[in-house]
C-alpha cells in the first residue's frame, strides 16, 4: 500500500516520553508509528531531521472575530495566525457581532467559517434566551457555553443566582460545560464608577477596579452555585493565587471543575503594564509577580488544567484610547504562545510533557474532542512539529493576525513551531501558509 505522507527521522512525544520514530499518515489519520524500515511507501516523504513532533496543539480560548468584527480579525487571518503559531485546533469565543447565542447564529457562523478556515475550529456559544434553547446549541456541537460575569452577553441574567443554577442544571443534563470569565460585575462597576467620578482614567485605576478580590469573589459565587448543579465549570484565564486556590479546593471537594491560565498572566506583570501602557490592558489584568508565580506553581503541581492564549485582536487605535475605560481589552497571542512556552522548556521551567498535557491532552479530554490529543494510529493526523533550538526575536510586524502588535514584541524566544499539520495536510511550514482557505474542519464536542 502507498500512504499519503511519511514523516521520517522524527522524535515524537508518545506515552509520556520522546521516542525516535517515523510517522505514516493516510486519509487524514495517523496510519502507523514505528521504525523507518517498517514504514509503508508514501506519496510524500519528509525527513524531519530529528525535529520533535507533538500531538497537534489546541487553543481553547480564541476570539476569531469576523462577521461584524472582521475589521479586527477574520476566519482566514485568525486561523492563519493559529497555524503560524503551531495550533491545529482553536475554539472561537461567542462575543461576536452578532453574538453567538442561538442555533441560528451558530449555524450562520459555521457557514461563514467553513470555506475560510485553515485549522480545525470549534465554537462556543453564549447562553441563549431561555434554557429550552440550550439543547439546540448542544446538538449543533458547541464546545461549551461561555459565561461573562463582567457584563451580560447572551440571554442569561448574571445577577440572578437562581437563573444561573437553573441554566447550570440544564447544561449538566445535556453533558456540556460552561466556561466562565470570572470577575464580579457589581464590585467592578462600583469601583469603575468611583474612579471615573474622581477623574481617574489611568491603568493603575483599571488594575484597582479589576482587583484580585473581584476575581475571587466571582469564582466563589460560581462555585457555590455549582455545588447544587454539579455541572462542569471551566474557569477561563485564572489570574490570582486565591482564585486558583478556590478552584483547587473545589476539585478536592469533588466538583467537576477545571481551569485555564494565559501566557499574559504567566509572562507579564504590572511592571510590564506600566512600561507598555494601555496596549497591555487585558481582562482580567496582568498581576504582580507573586500572583504570576502562584500560577506557575499551579502548572507545576497540576492544579492548572490547560494553557490557552485568549487571542483577542483589536485595531491598534482601539488599544490607545485616552481613557483606560475605553480601551478594548485583550491582545493577539496565537503567534507568541507556543514560542514563549517552548522557551521555558529550554530554561527548564517546563517539560515537553507539560506542554503536551496543557495544550493537547487535557484540552482534548475537557472538551471531548474525538481522535485528538495523542499521536497514535487511528487518531487524527493533527501534528505540531517544533524546533526547540530555533532562536528569534518576536516581531509583531510579521504576524498573520490583523493585529500586528504584541506586549511580547522584541522578546528573545527559543523554540518554535516549524510545521503545523492539520488532518494530514501541512498547513504551515517555516512560517509559510501552504494551503487554501477552507482546508480546516469544524470540530464538535463528542
Nearer Cβ to Zn ion (146/172): 146
Say how far apart CA 78 and CA 75 lie, in whole Å: 5
Count of chain residues binding Zn ion (CB under 5 A): 1
Grid coordinates representing 88? 491545529
CA-based nearest residue to 106, from 86, 87, 91: 91
CA 143, distance to chain mean position in Å, is 12
Nearer Cβ to Zn ion (62/385): 62
User: At closest approach, how far in Å is the CB of 310 from Zn ion?
Assistant: 4
| Piece of 48-56, 84-92, 225-233, 307-315 that binds Zn ion (CB under 5 A) | 307-315
Point out the residues that are catalytic: 310
Nearer Cβ to Zn ion (29/61): 61
Q: Cell 478594548 maps to which residue?
A: 328
Nearer Cβ to Zn ion (156/381): 156
CA-based nearest residue to 306, from 15, 16, 62, 17: 62
Grid coordinates representing 35? 521504525
Say how far apart CA 425 and CA 28 lie, in whole Å: 7
User: At closest approach, how far in Å is the CB of 115 from Zn ion?
Assistant: 25
CA 282, distance to chain mean position in Å, is 15
Nearer Cβ to Zn ion (305/414): 305
Residue nearest to Zn ion (CB): 310
Contacts with 21 (C-beta within 8 Å, 6 or more apart), sequence order: 10, 11, 12, 14, 33, 34, 35
User: At closest approach, how far in Å is the CB of 264 from Zn ion?
Assistant: 11
User: At closest approach, how far in Å is the CB of 406 from Zn ion?
Assistant: 16
User: At closest approach, how far in Å is the CB of 61 from Zn ion?
Assistant: 6
Largest CA distance in the chain: 75
Q: Does 310 bind Zn ion (CB under 5 A)?
A: yes
| Piece of 129-137, 288-296, 303-311, 358-366 that binds Zn ion (CB under 5 A) | 303-311
| Piece of 17-25, 120-128, 207-215, 310-318 that binds Zn ion (CB under 5 A) | 310-318
CB 438 within 8 A of CB 429: no
| Piece of 40-48, 200-208, 302-310, 401-409 that binds Zn ion (CB under 5 A) | 302-310
User: Phi, psi at residue 119, to the nearest 5°?
Assistant: -125, 175
Q: Enumerate binding residues for Zn ion (CB under 5 A).
A: 310
Amino acid at each position: 500500500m502507498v500512504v499519503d505522507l511519511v514523516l521520517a527521522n522524527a522524535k515524537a512525544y508518545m506515552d509520556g516520553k520522546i521516542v525516535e520514530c517515523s510517522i505514516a499518515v493516510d486519509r487524514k489519520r495517523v496510519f502507523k508509528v514505528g521504525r523507518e524500515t517498517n514504514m509503508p511507501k508514501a506519496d510524500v516523504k519528509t525527513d524531519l531531521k530529528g525535529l520533535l513532533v507533538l500531538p497537534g496543539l489546541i487553543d481553547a480560548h480564541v476570539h476569531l472575530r469576523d462577521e461584524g468584527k472582521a475589521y479586527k480579525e477574520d476566519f482566514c487571518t485568525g486561523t492563519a495566525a493559529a497555524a503560524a503559531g503551531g495550533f491545529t485546533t482553536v475554539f472561537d469565543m461567542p462575543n461576536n457581532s452578532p453574538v453567538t447565542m442561538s442555533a441560528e447564529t451558530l449555524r450562520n457562523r459555521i457557514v461563514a467559517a467553513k470555506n475560510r478556515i485553515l485549522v480545525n475550529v470549534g465554537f462556543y456559544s453564549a447562553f441563549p434566551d431561555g434554557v429550552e434553547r440550550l439543547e439546540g446549541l448542544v446538538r449543533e456541537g458547541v464546545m461549551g457555553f461561555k459565561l461573562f460575569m463582567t457584563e451580560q452577553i447572551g440571554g442569561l441574567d448574571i445577577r440572578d443566582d437562581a437563573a444561573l443554577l437553573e441554566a447550570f442544571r440544564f447544561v449538566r443534563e445535556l453533558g456540556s460545560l460552561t466556561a466562565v470569565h470570572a470577575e464580579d460585575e457589581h464590585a467592578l462597576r462600583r469601583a469603575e464608577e468611583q474612579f471615573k467620578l474622581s477623574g481617574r482614567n489611568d491603568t493603575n485605576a483599571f488594575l484597582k477596579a479589576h482587583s484580585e478580590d473581584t476575581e475571587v469573589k466571582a469564582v466563589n459565587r460560581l462555585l457555590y452555585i455549582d455545588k447544587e448543579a454539579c455541572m462542569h465549570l471551566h474557569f477561563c484565564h485564572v489570574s490570582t493565587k486565591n482564585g486558583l486556590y478556590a478552584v483547587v479546593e473545589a476539585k478536592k471537594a469533588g466538583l467537576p471543575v477545571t481551569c485555564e491560565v494565559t501566557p499574559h498572566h504567566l509572562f507579564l506583570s504590572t511592571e510590564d503594564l506600566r512600561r507598555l501602557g494601555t496596549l497591555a490592558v487585558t481582562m482580567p489584568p496582568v498581576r504582580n509577580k507573586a500572583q504570576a508565580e502562584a500560577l506557575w506553581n499551579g502548572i507545576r503541581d497540576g492544579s492548572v488544567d490547560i494553557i490557552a492564549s485568549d487571542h483577542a485582536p483589536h485595531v491598534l487605535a482601539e488599544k490607545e484610547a485616552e481613557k483606560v475605560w475605553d480601551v478594548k481589552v485583550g491582545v493577539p497571542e496565537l503567534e507568541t504562545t507556543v514560542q514563549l512556552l517552548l522557551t521555558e522548556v529550554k530554561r527548564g521551567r517546563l517539560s515537553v510533557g507539560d506542554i503536551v498535557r496543557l495544550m493537547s491532552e487535557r484540552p482534548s479530554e475537557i472538551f471531548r474532542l474525538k481522535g485528538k490529543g495523542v499521536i497514535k494510529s487511528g487518531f487524527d493526523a493533527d501534528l505540531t512539529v517544533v524546533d526547540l533550538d530555533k532562536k528569534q526575536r518576536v516581531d509583531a510586524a510579521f504576524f498573520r493576525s490583523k493585529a500586528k502588535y504584541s506586549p511580547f514584541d522584541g522578546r528573545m524566544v527559543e523554540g518554535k513551531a516549524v510545521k503545523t499539520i492539520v488532518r494530514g495536510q501541512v498547513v504551515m511550514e517555516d512560517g509559510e501558509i501552504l494551503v487554501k482557505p477552507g482546508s480546516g474542519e469544524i470540530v464538535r464536542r463528542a
